[in-house]
Amino acid sequence: MSDIGIDITSVILFRFLYIIVRSVSVSCISVGRQTSDNIYGYYVLNTAISFEYKVLDLSEFTHRIESISSKYPYYVAVIDNKIVGYAYANAFGVREAYKFSVELSVYIDKDYKKRGIGRLLYNHLEKELKKSGITNLYARVVVSDVEDEYISLNSLLFHKHLGFKQVCELHKCGYKFNRWYNVVYMEKFINEYP
């Protein structure tokens, strides 16, 4: 799979599936093609998980991957030569004082959810971030006062299961599908403070 611009990090037999977790390199047009339309596009068009209204074109999405992966870990999960999920760390804030904190994101192909792939990707991220001296992990999770066809509690419960704690909730801060959504900030400490 060297043609998609990623290096093998590990191969895992997990729930009877061989899952290859790979680190994305900065030359990743094929990764962008597979993840933009097949994975991220689904979340943009069909859910409130992403607050974007339109799917990014390939060059925009590839630029985003290149920008993030040049500074932070960015992993994809591959099953049978198909990217089925990806997760990455990104800057939590732009000021230098935030340098020990990152924000995590994870997206799993809708047909591969609930198979442990998100946890596997987050575990790889956490291990790499801990080695690099990161202390705080953050995640923004979209929630609603009432579950609807565009959002559920799955992401909130996923992060809680991985040891994240809810630290605040921003009310009615995102508007999509003609309704308001809240954003919960989740936090996890992974390292000693320098």
DSSP, collapsed to helix, strand or coil, labels residue 186 as strand
Q: Do the beta carbons of residue 61 and residue 67 sit within 8 Å?
A: no
Q: Is the dihedral of CA 39, 42, 44, 46 positive or negative?
A: negative
**Tens digits of pLDDT across the chain (194 residues):** 334 444 445 555 555 455 667 676 544 555 656 666 679 999 999 999 999 999 988 888 888 888 898 899 999 888 887 889 999 999 999 999 999 999 999 999 999 999 899 999 999 999 999 999 999 999 999 999 888 999 999 999 999 999 999 999 999 999 999 999 999 999 999 999 88
Domain residue ranges in the chain = 2-189
**Amino acid letter, residue 10:** S
CATH class of 2-189: alpha beta
